[in-house]
Amino acid sequence: MTDTKPPFLAFALPDIGEEEIAEVVDTLRSGWVTTGPKARRFEDDFARYLGEPGLQAIAVNSATAGLHLALEALGIGPGDEVIVPTHTFTATAEVVRYLGADVRLVDVDPVTLNIDPARVEAAITPRTKAFVPVHYAGLAADMPALLEIARRHGLKVVEDAAHALPSTSGGRLVGTLDSHATVFSFYANKTITTGEGGMLVTRDPALAARARVMRLHGISRDAFDRFTATVPSWYYEIVAPGFKYNLTDIAAALGLHQLRKADAFAARRAELVARYDAALADLPVLRPAHAPAGERHAWHLYVLRLADSVRLGRDQVIEALFAAGIGCSVHYIPLHLQPYWRDRYGLRPEQFPHSQRAYERMLSLPLHTRMSDADVDRVAAALRTALA
């Protein structure tokens, strides 16, 4: 018998073309495979893409590294508190603990699932030094309100923009707003990818300089600078106990071409979202929030929430879709439910009703630029069958 079962539809897949492959091969042949000229080009291209003068881009090996570097450069340390949404991946919060500071988790807006500005303001204490808004699923947080809170209370703001290339707020690209730093992710499932990688963006020259030093062991000069100078120099100085957070040229080679495709990728994601919205309009689900008129949603994720009338549990729906050959995920298991955060801070679900309720009913459907319109129709049909 011929197996007519359709192939498994992955939840996320990178969209790598011949341009990226050729650039990686060129890098391998060049002999410069660690941080070097292509990482520098990627930083320059990224700053130009954001399009505002004075921005500096620092390439790192993960968004986690970028968040850590930004908070370290801002002087966060023991005795300080940093406010973080509970509805995020643990990386947003764990970097605060790397520095010996404490995390203050807050709930999210029930519609957008972005950090709630009112909850941020209510959580501020004399120990609060910063907060980290997350642009959930690619929808920009309420940055005007958040930045005004920061201004009134003298707080630092580091945006977790892992989902948010190329999102906008107030008509400006995320990365060009008036926060102290913004950090993007290029992990394999993000809107552009370098496999593993990230970018820290800031207008603050002192923050940028500190991040560059701390990115590579606290060495006073980048390896690229030391080995490509007009007069080669073996001498360097360790000016701080730094980290190993540099992005390789192999990874940057991917990023150079992925960045050129960022707008086309975003347009295709928006097309897939529109098709999902139409196909699921009559089902008992809450579809994801869209960006306000005139703004741009990066659509890293397409997150549904099951209506109260759905008798199947969320896990059963995911199992039904998986049985139909469709990959799904959940974004996220809130931090207040994770043993480390729960036990360290004595957290309870009732403290975070919006995140908790969303988590119990949510699932993320496949969304990536290698999907066809027929793939969306297949997901919608399988979901319809499951909910029936």
The catalytic residue positions are: 190
- Residue 184 token pair: 């993007």
- CA 214 to chain CA centroid, nearest Å: 22
- CB 238, CB 218: distance < 8 Å: yes
Give the whole-angstrom CA distance, residue 170 versus residue 148.
Answer: 14
Who contacts 320 (Cβ-Cβ below 8 Å, separation ≥6)? 312, 382, 385, 386
Q: Would you call 28 helix, strand, or coil by DSSP?
A: helix
- CB 108, CB 116: distance < 8 Å: yes
- Residue 293 token pair: 């008129």
- CB 137, CB 300: distance < 8 Å: yes
Taking CA atoms, 15 is separated from 99, 166, 232, 263, in Å, by: 36, 16, 39, 13
Number of Cβ atoms within 10 Å of the Cβ of 191: 27
Give the whole-angstrom CA distance, residue 113 versus residue 156.
Answer: 22
Q: Which helix (H) or strand (E) holds 105?
A: strand 102-106
- CB 42, CB 259: distance < 8 Å: yes
Give the whole-angstrom CA distance, residue 286 versus residue 190.
Answer: 23
Residue for token pair 């730093």: 181
